């Protein structure tokens, strides 16, 4: 019986692992540049934790199971609920603001498609305890700072930004009751992913008034905050939310990433817990699924039994990002080192095997990465092996030189060689 990998999962052979490391190392570096510290949690939690506030879509996509004690558990589809739980647990002792990042491996039982798998890695950055929209600006900035570091320009990607507070104020102003908002948001979030007629039909099922549905459709296409006032009357709540959006854009401009950012009322987000600024970064052509998404969530910590505590953050998966980088020619497998050795120790004849083992071990003890051929082979072949392993230098143990206690050190990029006394090299 030939056992296959499960659909929607990936095997990371060394070349794929090099790509994953390239992405993850960049995420970590950007987090640190922006002052976030790393955390992690367990890969499974109580199923109930995801049923509280994440919304139906994520609940439908859960991998869940019962353990031997009859506990209902789920593999994490996101880390935000874990973050809320962990912060709640130590809320009084954690220094504020809480700026944390994580790179969890997540599972969602989605139908595998371009950019969406059933197991993936997701970079998360979150700021907890800062009411000011400055925290949202920091999250969006950090995310764009990372994407910019990969040489993606504003011609390649756009951060589409909106506000659920603004949307809620506007929807309530046109007669939608507050308690109905939660069931309308997931429909609005589906708009870019389904045909216009299907979208309208879904809204008609949820909302009685055809005129209200048409107003919502017009609102979803708004790309400048000022246009909203031309479609609906603005109340104080809407005006305040608009001011917050304007300040966010001013901050992003100040931070030097304004050209990447655009207001887009159509960004609603699928998850149920968002309460304020929401955003997604998309490829400029709009061909792919979102590269990342996030926003403000003010009630998640209190929903999990903690104090009222505002928070904002985002998650970026590795899948769409990799597709986009390849499409733009910014990621090529042959430019990523699978391995990089400081030294490779080659030996000119089988009699020098012991010496090669000794030299290798001594270099490793000094903290250098070092390898050698397990079988005596022609020197040329060993040099090829050194090259394939990405060795910076190759030490060639030869009979006459070792007699004097010297070793030949070859620089693999320039091809130059020098003989150095072994004792000096190992110092
Ligand atoms: P999300 O929109 O569900 O948000 O996911 C964020 C990102 O994770 C997506 O934009 C995508 O890059 C990636 N992603 C999601 N599902 C998949 C999948 N099946 N395969 C590959 N990549 C995927 C959240 O998860 C929120 N918890 C983010 C957040 C953090 N909000 C506040 N803090």
**Alpha helices, DSSP H only, in 34-163?**
47-53, 56-60, 80-89, 134-149
Helices (H) and strands (E) in the chain, counts: 17, 17
Q: Which residues pair with 409 in a beta bridge?
A: 395, 418
Residue 82 Cβ contacting ligand 1 at under 6 Å: no
Ligand 1 within 6 A of CB of 55: no
Q: Is 338 exposed, middle or buried (0-12, 13-18, 19+ CB in 10 A)?
A: middle
* Whether the CB of 119 sits within 6 Å of ligand 1: no
Alpha helices, DSSP H only, in 74-222?
80-89, 134-149, 164-173, 181-190, 196-206, 210-220
For the Cβ of 28 lying below 6 angstroms from any atom of ligand 1, the answer is no
Pairwise CA distance, residues 395 & 340, whole Å: 15
pLDDT of residue 271: 86
Q: Does residue 124 have its Cβ closer than 6 Å to ligand 1?
A: yes
pLDDT of residue 423: 80
What are the structure tokens assigned to 109, written together? 């039982």
- Identify the residue whose tokens are 């998966």: 317
> What residues contact residue 123 under an 8 Å CB cut-off, 6+ apart?
24, 27, 31, 101, 102, 103, 146, 292, 315, 316, 318
Residue 355's Cβ-count burial label (10 Å; 0-12, 13-18, 19+) is middle
Residue indicated by tokens 């059933």 = 118
User: What percent of the residues of the chain are helix, what percent strand, and what percent coil, each to the nearest 5?
Assistant: 45, 20, 35
CA dist., res. 111 & res. 120, Å (int): 13
Angle in degrees, 0-180, between the axes of helices 210-220 and 164-173, rounded to the nearest 10: 150
Neighbours of 154 (CB within 10 A): 16
In angstroms, the CA 224 to CA 169 distance is 17
Q: Kindly give the distance from the C-alpha atom of residue 421 to the centroid of ligand 1, in angstroms, as a whole number.
A: 56
E strand or H helix at 16: helix 14-33
What is the rounded distance in angstroms from the CA atom of residue 248 to the CA atom of residue 279? Answer: 12
Give the model's pLDDT for residue 426: 76
Give 10-residue mean pLDDT values along the chain (427 residues): 95 95 98 98 95 75 94 96 96 95 96 95 98 98 98 98 96 93 92 92 92 94 91 93 97 98 94 94 94 96 94 98 97 86 92 91 95 92 93 85 76 92 79
- HSE (CB half, 13 Å, CA atoms) of 197? 0
DSSP letter, residue 235? -
Looking at residue 317, what is its pLDDT? 98
Q: Which of 8, 45, 78 to mutate to test the pocket of ligand 1 (most atoms within 8 A of CB)?
A: 78
Of the candidates 213, 237, 236, 238, the one whose C-alpha atom is nearest the C-alpha of residue 227 is 238
| C-alpha distance from residue 62 to each of 7, 57, 294, 297, 301 (Å) | 16, 9, 20, 21, 21
Is 343 within 8 Å of 391 (Cβ atoms)?
yes
Q: Set out the domains of the chain in order of their start, with CATH numbers.
A: 14-41+79-334 (3.30.930.10), 343-426 (3.40.50.800)
CA of residue 138 relative to chain centroid, distance: 16
CA of 405 to the centre of ligand 1 (A): 59
User: Which of 50, 315, 322 to mutate to test ligand 1, by most ligand atoms within 8 A of the CB atom?
Assistant: 315
Distance CA 283, CA 189 (A): 17
Long-range own/partner contacts, residues 109-116 (CB < 8 A, 24 or more apart): 109/60, 109/61, 109/62, 109/63, 110/8, 110/61, 112/7, 112/8, 114/288, 114/289, 114/323, 115/288, 115/289, 115/317, 115/319, 115/320, 115/323, 116/289, 116/319
Q: How far apart are CA 130 and CA 96, in angstroms?
A: 9
Report whether residue 316 contacts ligand 1, using a CB cutoff of 6 Å: yes
Threshold 0.85, pTM exceeds: yes
Residue 84 in contact with ligand 1 by CB distance below 6 A: no
Q: Which residues make beta-bridge pairs with 106?
A: 120
Two tokens, residue 268:
């609603």
**Does the beta carbon of 10 sit less than 6 angstroms from any atom of ligand 1?**
no
Atom of ligand 1 lying closest to residue 280 CA: 10
Residue with tokens 């950007």: 30
How close is the Cα of 14 to the center of ligand 1, in Å? Answer: 25
């Amino acid at each position: 019986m030939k056992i296959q990998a499960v659909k929607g999962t990936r095997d990371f052979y060394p070349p794929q692992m090099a790509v994953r490391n390239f992405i993850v190392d960049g995420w970590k570096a950007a987090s640190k540049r922006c002052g976030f510290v790393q955390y992690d949690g367990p890969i499974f939690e109580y199923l109930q934790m995801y049923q509280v506030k994440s919304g139906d879509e994520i609940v439908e996509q859960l991998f869940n199971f019962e353990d031997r004690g009859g506990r209902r558990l789920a593999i994490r589809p996101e880390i935000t609920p874990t973050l809320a739980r962990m912060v709640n647990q130590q809320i009084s002792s954690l220094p504020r603001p809480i700026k944390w990042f994580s790179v969890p491996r997540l599972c969602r039982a989605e139908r595998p498609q371009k950019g969406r798998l059933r197991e993936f890695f997701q970079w998360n950055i979150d700021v907890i305890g800062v009411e000011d929209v400055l925290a949202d600006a920091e999250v969006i900035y950090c995310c764009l700072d990372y994407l910019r570091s990969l040489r993606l320009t504003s011609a390649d990607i756009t951060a589409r930004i909106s506000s659920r507070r603004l949307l809620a104020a506007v929807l309530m102003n046109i007669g939608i009751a507050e308690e109905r908002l939660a069931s309308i948001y997931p429909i609005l979030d589906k708009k870019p992913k389904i045909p216009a007629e299907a979208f309208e039909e879904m809204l008609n099922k949820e909302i009685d008034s055809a005129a209200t549905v048409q107003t919502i459709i017009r609102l979803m296409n708004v790309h400048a905050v000022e246009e909203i006032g031309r479609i609906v009357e603005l109340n104080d709540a809407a005006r305040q939310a608009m001011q917050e959006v304007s300040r966010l854009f001013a901050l992003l401009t100040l931070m030097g990433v304004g050209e990447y950012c655009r207001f887009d009322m159509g960004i609603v987000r699928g998850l149920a817990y968002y309460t304020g600024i929401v955003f997604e970064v998309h490829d400029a052509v709009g061909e792919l699924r979102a590269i990342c998404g996030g926003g403000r969530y003010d009630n998640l910590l209190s929903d999990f039994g903690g104090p009222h505590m505002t928070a904002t953050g985002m998650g970026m998966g590795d899948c769409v990002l990799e597709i986009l980088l390849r499409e733009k020619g910014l990621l090529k497998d042959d430019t990523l080192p699978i391995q990089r050795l400081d030294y490779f120790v080659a030996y000119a004849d089988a009699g020098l095997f012991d010496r090669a083992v000794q030299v290798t071990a001594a270099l490793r003890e000094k903290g250098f990465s070092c390898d050698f051929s397990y079988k005596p082979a022609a020197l040329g072949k060993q040099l090829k092996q050194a090259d394939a392993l990405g060795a910076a230098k190759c030490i060639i143990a030869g009979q006459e030189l070792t007699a004097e206690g010297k070793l030949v050190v070859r620089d693999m990029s320039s091809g130059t060689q020098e003989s150095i006394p072994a004792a000096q090299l190992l110092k």
